[in-house]
Amino acid sequence: MHPVTPIEKILIAINLTDASRRAFYVGLEQAAKYDAETFVLHVSEPIRSYDFGKKRYVETKETIERVQEGVTARLDELWEQGGIAAVDRRKVQIIVRGGKAGPEIVETARVRGVDLIVMGIGAGAASEHVLRHAPCSVLAVRERAGS
């Protein structure tokens, strides 16, 4: 019999597509099952605004905070629609990062010492990047069965 790898930290990567909404719920189910610390990551590409004084795009704290507020509000809606009551919300941390989704997901998993990444899969390079480079197991969730 093979030893079971403990799952103490889970990263749920979301982009608010149908597949990532399903991944959110699957990730919460896993968090409840393992009583795991959970990180919900949204990567926005890019988080920046145009600074007319500097005549260039800049990342701003205010822009990041606005995106984080929007993501938090959307996650609250998802939670109310079907969040798992057994998950201790105090153990769920929301992270918003700017950049390319695939590398940011992998880096966040590495830095946080994550045991499992749960993410929706669809068209795009992020899923493939994470599957190839993740420092841990990845649970890929399809939009719906058979898709």
pLDDT digit string, tens, across residues 130-145: 999 999 999 999 877 5
| pLDDT (tens digit per residue) in 90-133 | 788 888 887 889 999 999 999 999 999 999 987 678 899 999 99
Between 133 and 57, the higher pLDDT residue: 133
CA 11 to chain CA centroid, Å, is: 6
Second CATH level (architecture) for the domain 9-141: 3-Layer(aba) Sandwich (3.40)
Query: Do residues 48 and 98 make contact, with C-beta atoms less than 8 angstroms apart?
Result: yes
Position 25 pLDDT exceeds 90: no
pTM, 2 dp: 0.79
Query: Do residues 141 and 10 make contact, with C-beta atoms less than 8 angstroms apart?
Result: no
Strands 37-44 and 137-141: unpaired
Position 51 pLDDT exceeds 90: no
**Backbone φ/ψ region at 121: left (φ over 0), alpha (ψ -120 to 50), beta:** beta
